[in-house]
Structure 1
Amino acid sequence: MPPRDHRVTLVTRAGCHLCAEAESVLRSLAAELGFGYDEVDVDAAPALLAAFSDRVPVIVVDGKEHGYWRVEEARLRARLAR
């Protein structure tokens, strides 16, 4: 499945410096590789807050948690190449 067929979601929070770093990396990769990308605010959804509150940012690929706190670019590229 080429990268453009994947969906990456960043679970983020306002004022989070790690979230800002992850957003920058993911936006750049989305532009380069063409995968779908969106962001959701962990504090706007009770279910997300319960699941991820202390681990933001969280990177979700195709509906499954891929990682948190930092984008491991090589690992993400490998996942998207599948």
Structure 2
Amino acid sequence: MVRMSPLFRRTGRRTQNTENTENTAARERLVTLIGKPDCHLCEDAQEVVEKVCGDLGVPWEKKDITQDEELHREYWEQIPVVLVDGAQHTFWRVDEERLRRALGA
């Protein structure tokens, strides 16, 4: 018996356009950079996040711990912090190649 992936069963298509699949996957990802103003490590991290997400077409957002008490309590000792799809990926320094791998590149 041939098993089909849930995606195949849901769409009912026998072939997929690889480019469309990659673009959809990139749009479903989200990178979050948590930092604060006047933080040189945060600025360095933002450069890496902007570059990697720009190259891969992955959306990203920036959150400021000085504007969010919960984020401040959770991350103030670790900033900058990078989340990938809501899960902590790294803190302090962002490695470009590691982030690319985490995003499936």
Is TM > 0.5 for Structure 1 vs Structure 2? yes
Equivalence for 1:68: 91
Letter in 2 for 1:71: V
Equivalence for 1:25: 48
Equivalence for 2:101: 78
Shift of 1:25: 1.0
Aligned length: 82
Shift of 1:74: 1.6
Percent of aligned positions that are identical:
34
Give the SS at the match of 1:9.
Answer: strand
Trace 1:6-45 onto structure 2 (pairs within 5 A).
6-45=29-68
**Structure 1 unaligned spans of 5+:** none
Shift of 1:29: 1.2
**Structure 2 unaligned spans of 5+:** 1-21
TM-score by length of 2: 0.73
- Give a deviation string over 1:9-40, Cα, whole Å, max 9, x none: 00010010000001011111111110010100
Aligned partners of 2:68 and 2:82: how far apart in 1? 16
Shift of 1:71: 0.7
Give the SS at the match of 1:47.
Answer: helix
TM-score by length of 1: 0.91
User: 4+ runs of 1 displaced by more than 4 Å?
Assistant: none
What RMSD over aligned residues (CA atoms) do the two structures have, in Å? 1.5
Aligned partners of 2:80 and 2:102: how far apart in 1? 18
Give the SS at the match of 1:54.
Answer: coil
Could you say which structure has the greater relative contact order, defined with CA pairs below 8 angstroms and 6 or more residues apart?
1
User: Which one has a bigger Cα radius of gyration?
Assistant: 2
Give the SS at the match of 2:77.
Answer: helix
